[in-house]
Structure 1
Amino acid sequence: MSFVTRHRVTASARAAALALALTCASMGPVGADPVSGQVTGPLAAPNPFLGPVGTATMHGDAGSSDVTPLAGPAPGAPVTVYPLGAACPTLLEGSDGLVVALCTAIAGQAPTVFLLDPAAPGPLAGALTSLALTKGSLLGGVYAYLDNADRLVLVDGDRRLLRVAHERAADGGWQLSATEQADLSGAIPEGDNVTGLVPDWSGNVWFATGHGLVGLVNAAGRIETVALPSGEQIANSISAASNGAVAVASTHALYELAAKDGAPVVRWRAAYERGSARKPGQLSWGTGSTPTYFGPGTGEEYLALVDNADDQVRLLILASGSGERVCSVPVLTEGGPGSENSPIGIGNSVFVASTYGYPYPAVPDGAGPAVPATAPLRGGLTRVDLTPTGCAQVWDSPVRSAAVPKLSLADGGVHTLRRVGPETATPLDGYEYVVIDAATGAVRAATPLPGTVAQDPLQMAALTTHGGALLQGTVTGVVRVG
């Protein structure tokens, strides 16, 4: 395949452009306040083919900002456990206030869609109905999104692009039904599965597979694909920007693509340091990041991801549109040197959480052995801000995040679950819901969760609902705070 040649600019020109962008940003309510350190900024323009902003994708929006405009639960909020018999990495809320969960059943490992009512009382009243789908790869039943009709969009193990709707049944209850939009089996080889998908602003559904195939499906069901170089895998989801760009991180490089004449083409490729092996606490040999669009002007000028360098990982920030590196900076310097989570990005600020040493019960086929095989779970959460001359670390917290952290613009807190126990993780470890002050890195509040291993959030993403509750997927179901 051929790649579009990147336009080179001088370092001084990049610095001048960055300084101008940050100066302009300081004229409005975006970026980090230089006195208080509070984090604010614009989210990118809403994608018209997605559900509500903040609740329609695992990472909040098409650009994977991991930022929500909604406030999280108040300190001391009650905790409710929904025992679903499944691990639930994807929790999404539609415009009707119902939550659609994409989970993997413990028995049989089949992906299963659950419809939940977060306003319902009690541990069982929240599960309205469920629908089992065809099993695929370990990461094949993880990524999905809600479209603008509150339908769950995903690719099942038979490589069918499905839209799963929910509606009232004749008896007054709820029912889930799946409609096939396209059969991808002719485009995706046997043994390969979709690991990420996102709509662009034209309504195309973009997808990426574990074996390095990137494609799109248009409204008429036409499928077009492009293959990344041999040996490159895709182990995380993908992101989209309003200018038509789609960002994909492989186990070797970050790409930005776009549709040209109805087919995907690569705009640029930027290699990163992938290290000498997969690290403990990661699911692939390479970056663990879903690439994050962010910026102080439009909310999508830049892309962020974390590399996989052996001794010290770095946050990389690149310019969308050109792939030029804006800056890089060491992160997680006091914690574990590795991250499987998408960075949080908003305004001029990026937050990176360590997963180094996290005891995943399974890894995808072909991930390779971890080196070392195990490691202490020290944790760590780093905030980095863009500056007129590059980027700089603002604070480094020792929090041992056990989930994908989310930033609330409404309350200024980074919300996550914290693992409680010795550095060598054990099945007896406990978990707390914590809120970290985005300005200072200090823990504002902590709420213990009941139980131990049954509540392991397994580095999955939480959902903040419009009703002010936080729903967190665990290895056995869902925990609700609030």
Structure 2
Amino acid sequence: MSHFPGRRRTTRWRPVGALLAALVLSCAGSASAASPAGYGPTPPHNPYAGPDGTATMHGDTGSSDTTPWAGPGAGTLASSRTALASACPTVLIGSDGYPVALCTPIFGQVPTVHLLDPEDNSSLTTLSLTKGSLLGGVYAYIDHQDRLVVADGSRSLLRVGHHRDSEGDWRLTVDRRLSLASVIPEDDAVTGLAPDWKGRVWFATGGGVVGTADDSTGTVKTLRLPAGERVANSISTAPEGTAVTTTHATYLLDTEDGTPRIVWRTAYDRGSARKPGLLSWGSGSTPTFFGPGTGTEYVTIVDNADSAAHLKVYRTADGSDVCSVPVLRAAGGPGSENSPVGAGRSVFVAGTYGYPYPAVPEGAGTSVPASADFAGGLSRVDVRADGTGCSLVWDNALRSAAVPKLSTADGLLHTVVRDPLIPGTRGTSLLDPFRYVQIDPANGQITRSGKVGVGSLFDTLQMAGTITEDGAFLQGTVTGVLRITAQ
């Protein structure tokens, strides 16, 4: 189903060497849309993950939400939708160029892996996983051998590979499996996972179990975080350690023998209740590593304070405060379920207050108020050059309906916005129009946009998009995957 005139056919991806070369697009400095390399550096490449920008929902294991690839360029924008009758929050791509989507069907809600054709996004083959919690299996990553690494409802760590048989047909197979059932209670599930720099898989459960798993030896070691603290988002890894944000605090953990150890813990204001448009009572952030030197000097989240949402920036070395800056004030919606975008000294925060999620995870708590109009909002905060604090650069009321991605190649933010059915209002309806937009990070203004669809079939549900090497923007929706290109 096309919503822009025309659609180009994409070419096959270039060799891995071209991927590696394009990663060298970072240097420190002030942000400028005219100088894309000013937005950097990004976190260092994890040798046990796939290509930066496409290996995780948030681009890399540091969760920077950046990509080294440019989005749709000059020409007529075109959009097509692959209908999968599923919500597809995770669309990842390995070094071979084949997109792998992790989706939850509308009927049955059994997590399903789809291997997509890189030419047109059609589903080449599928693999059903064991059903678990609402957020269980949402977060996954592509490893250095192009396998999807995911934890399923059986509390098992899986590496799912895609292979061609002797007749040339594709199939998805579980190439490796490790049970985590001995360390994860039956009523718990893995929420987030990411590799460290030694190849171990770090994981965190909704109930607050953090662990490492070596599926080559079968070794699993864990640490339970304080009682009452839940993990509702994914985790992030950097050479310095693993960042985990619970419903009460942000942690940096490391290990010598595989047993997780707390390096530091910093509490934040979680507010008096869950807010509408958030999926837990606390921060909605997957913690983001960023910084102007190594790309990981800082860790940032957004808190859940009652009257305002604050961007919290901590020093990775010791957890000390760099700043706490109120954000999303122009939109009037004090809340964000999205991971911040971080590159160099700049952080971008998209608001989700009031977003009409069709369901929330079990145990999320009552929303106060029960509902609200979708406020949206987008803010940019820069850490000062001397690291002594932060400044709000701009703040607007743009209503991003997805996690924005910053391209260090074209110097633009890419996302999908949800416009009100009645211009000038803030309510949402089943007939809202959705637009793909490119945003100038220097001032927060939309520089280019195009309609992708109208109505709930196109709801991007605050999910993250992925930019391919040849400039296509792939965006999951509640019913499948959008492919936005230029010709």
TM-score with structure 1 length normalisation?
0.91
Work out the CA distance in 2 between the residues paired with 1:394 and 1:311. Answer: 21
1:85 paired to 2:93: no
1:455 aligns with one of 455, 458, 463: 458
Shift in Å at residue 37 of structure 1?
A: 8.6
Q: Residue 141 of structure 1 aligns with which residue?
A: 137
Report the more deviating stretch, 180-189 or 160-169: 180-189
Q: Residue 8 of structure 1 aligns with which residue?
A: none
Shift in Å at residue 337 of structure 1?
A: 0.7
Work out the CA distance in 1 between the residues paired with 2:162 and 2:33. Answer: 48
Q: What amino acid is aligned across from residue 301 of structure 1 in structure 2?
A: E
Work out the CA distance in 1 between the residues paired with 2:63 and 2:230. Answer: 20
Q: Residue 319 of structure 1 aligns with which residue?
A: 315
Q: Counterpart of 1:47 in 2: which secondary structure?
A: coil
Shift in Å at residue 290 of structure 1?
A: 0.2
Work out the CA distance in 2 between the residues paired with 1:404 and 1:224. Answer: 32
User: How many correspondences in the alignment?
Assistant: 450
Q: CA offsets, 1:202-229, max 9 Å, x none?
A: 0010000000110001241200000010
1:271 paired to 2:267: yes
Work out the CA distance in 2 between the residues paired with 1:263 and 1:235. Answer: 22
Report the more deviating stretch, 444-453 or 105-114: 444-453
1:207 aligns with one of 203, 219, 230: 203
1:30 aligns with one of 19, 28, 31: 28
What RMSD over aligned residues (CA atoms) do the two structures have, in Å? 1.4
Q: Residue 111 of structure 2 aligns with which residue?
A: 111
Q: What amino acid is aligned across from residue 461 of structure 1 in structure 2?
A: A
Q: CA offsets, 1:344-395, max 9 Å, x none?
A: 0000000000000000000000001100011111210000001134101001
Work out the CA distance in 2 between the residues paired with 1:205 and 1:386. Answer: 31
Q: What amino acid is aligned across from residue 398 of structure 1 in structure 2?
A: A
Shift in Å at residue 34 of structure 1?
A: 8.0
Shift in Å at residue 328 of structure 1?
A: 1.1
Structure 1 unmatched ranges of 5 or more: 1-27
Work out the CA distance in 2 between the residues paired with 1:141 and 1:105. Answer: 13
Work out the CA distance in 2 between the residues paired with 1:334 and 1:33. Answer: 22
**Distance change >3 Å, CA 35–CA 83, structure 1 → 2:** closer
Report the more deviating stretch, 31-40 or 446-455: 31-40
Report the more deviating stretch, 212-221 or 199-208: 212-221
Q: Residue 301 of structure 1 aligns with which residue?
A: 297
TM-score with structure 2 length normalisation?
0.90
Q: Counterpart of 2:457 in 1: which secondary structure?
A: helix
Amino-acid identity (%): 56
Q: Residue 130 of structure 1 aligns with which residue?
A: 126
Q: Residue 176 of structure 1 aligns with which residue?
A: 172
Q: Residue 474 of structure 1 aligns with which residue?
A: 477
**Distance change >3 Å, CA 283–CA 34, structure 1 → 2:** closer
Shift in Å at residue 35 of structure 1?
A: 11
Q: Residue 10 of structure 2 aligns with which residue?
A: none
* Contact 2:147–2:162 (CA under 8 A) maintained in structure 1: yes
Structure 2 unmatched ranges of 5 or more: 1-25
Work out the CA distance in 1 between the residues paired with 2:101 and 2:334. Answer: 31
1:339 aligns with one of 323, 336, 340: 336
1:405 paired to 2:404: yes
1:191 aligns with one of 183, 187, 194: 187
1:251 aligns with one of 222, 247, 257: 247
Q: Counterpart of 1:450 in 2: which secondary structure?
A: strand
1:442 paired to 2:439: no
Shift in Å at residue 398 of structure 1?
A: 1.6
**Distance change >3 Å, CA 154–CA 374, structure 1 → 2:** same
Q: Residue 68 of structure 1 aligns with which residue?
A: 67
Q: Counterpart of 1:454 in 2: which secondary structure?
A: helix
Q: Residue 3 of structure 1 aligns with which residue?
A: none
Q: What amino acid is aligned across from residue 229 of structure 2 in structure 1?
A: E
Q: CA offsets, 1:163-219, max 9 Å, x none?
A: 000011232110000134310011100010000000000001000000011000124
Work out the CA distance in 1 between the residues paired with 2:236 and 2:312. Answer: 16
Q: Counterpart of 1:263 in 2: which secondary structure?
A: coil
Work out the CA distance in 2 between the residues paired with 1:142 and 1:274. Answer: 23
Q: What amino acid is aligned across from residue 100 of structure 1 in structure 2?
A: V
Work out the CA distance in 2 between the residues paired with 1:192 and 1:430. Answer: 37
Q: Residue 352 of structure 1 aligns with which residue?
A: 349
1:232 paired to 2:222: no
Report the more deviating stretch, 380-389 or 136-145: 380-389
Q: Counterpart of 1:196 in 2: which secondary structure?
A: strand
Work out the CA distance in 2 between the residues paired with 1:34 and 1:46. Answer: 24
Q: What amino acid is aligned across from residue 345 of structure 2 in structure 1?
A: N
